[in-house]
Amino acid sequence: MKQRLRVLVAVGVLTLGATGAGGAEASQATRDCPTAEIFATDNTAIITDQRDPRLRTRLTRFDREVRGIVRANGARPGTSTLLDGVFWSGDLKRTTYERSRAFDVDRVGADGLHHIADVIRKQYRQESVLTFRCLPRTSPDTDAVEIQASGVSAARLHDALVADPAAADRLGGGSVTLGGRLILIAPLADLPLARDFTRKLGVDWKAATVRYGDEEFVA
Residue 67 belongs to a domain: yes
pLDDT above 70 covers a percentage of the chain that reads: 86
Task: Give the span between the Cα atoms of 129 and 38, in whole angstroms.
Answer: 7
Give pLDDT, residue 22.
36
Give pLDDT, residue 14.
28
Residue 1 belongs to a domain: no
What's the alpha-carbon Rg for the chain, to the nearest Å? Answer: 16
pLDDT above 90 covers a percentage of the chain that reads: 77
Residue 6 belongs to a domain: no
Say how many domains are in the chain.
1
15-19, 62-66, 67-71: segment of lowest average pLDDT = 15-19
When pLDDT is averaged across residues 120-126 and rounded to a whole number, the result is 98
Give pLDDT, residue 2.
43
What range does the domain containing 154 cover? 14-218
Give pLDDT, residue 150.
93
Write the CA distances from 66 to 36, 117, 191, integer angstroms. Answer: 14, 10, 30
Residue 5 belongs to a domain: no
Give pLDDT, residue 132.
98
Give pLDDT, residue 24.
46
Residue 9 belongs to a domain: no
Q: In this predicted model, what pLDDT tens digit does every residue of 18-51 receive, in sequence order?
A: 334 433 456 665 567 899 999 999 999 999 999 9
Residue 148 belongs to a domain: yes
Higher pLDDT, 21 or 154: 154
